[in-house]
């Protein structure tokens, strides 16, 4: 699938501001950036973890996907994201391999990325995100 690396692990949290100190102060990870992503109805905080990141996600809407995930399963790991070179080619390959994608086209993600998710029922219970970084 042209996966370059694990880009990040997404962790759903109820209160971003109360969780940041765990990753920054207790674990010593660098808080790289915070951002609101209106298309996904979340506030995010990204921490550097080696060559990857930890993304904390707080819902900005009680009907948003993160709020619903927390309501259903509680706080914790929400998704695993893989960086790909060409998201449309990766989407075609994923579909050809039997994965159900949650969108026909990639959406804007944090940091100017393009993203799409694969339904967990086709990935043995793991919500997988494909991420294409912006062109430099």
The DSSP code sequence of 43-101 is EEEEEEETTEEEEEEEESSTTSHHHHHHHHH-SEEEEEEEEES-HHHHHHHHHHTTPPB
pTM, two decimal places: 0.91
3-state helix, strand, coil in the chain (%, to 5): 30, 40, 30
Tens-digit pLDDT string for the chain (136 aa): 688 899 999 999 999 999 999 999 999 999 999 999 998 899 999 999 999 999 999 999 999 999 999 999 999 999 999 999 999 999 999 999 999 999 999 999 998 999 999 999 999 999 999 999 998 7
What CA dihedral angle connects 79, 41, 60 and 27, to 10 degrees? Answer: 30
The residues facing 10 across adjacent strands are 55, 79
């Amino acid at each position: 699938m042209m996966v370059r690396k694990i880009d990040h692990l997404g962790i759903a949290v109820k209160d971003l501001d109360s969780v940041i100190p765990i990753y920054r102060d207790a674990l010593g990870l660098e808080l790289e950036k915070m951002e609101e992503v209106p298309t996904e109805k979340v506030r995010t905080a990204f921490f550097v973890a080696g060559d990857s990141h930890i993304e904390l996600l707080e819902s900005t809407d009680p009907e948003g996907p993160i709020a619903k995930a927390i309501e259903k399963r509680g706080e914790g790991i929400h998704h695993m994201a893989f960086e790909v070179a060409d998201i449309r080619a990766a989407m075609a390959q994923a579909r050809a391999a039997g994965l159900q994608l949650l969108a026909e086209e990639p959406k804007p993600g944090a940091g100017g990325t393009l993203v799409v998710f694969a339904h967990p029922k086709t990935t043995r219970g793991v919500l997988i995100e494909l991420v294409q970084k912006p062109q430099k």
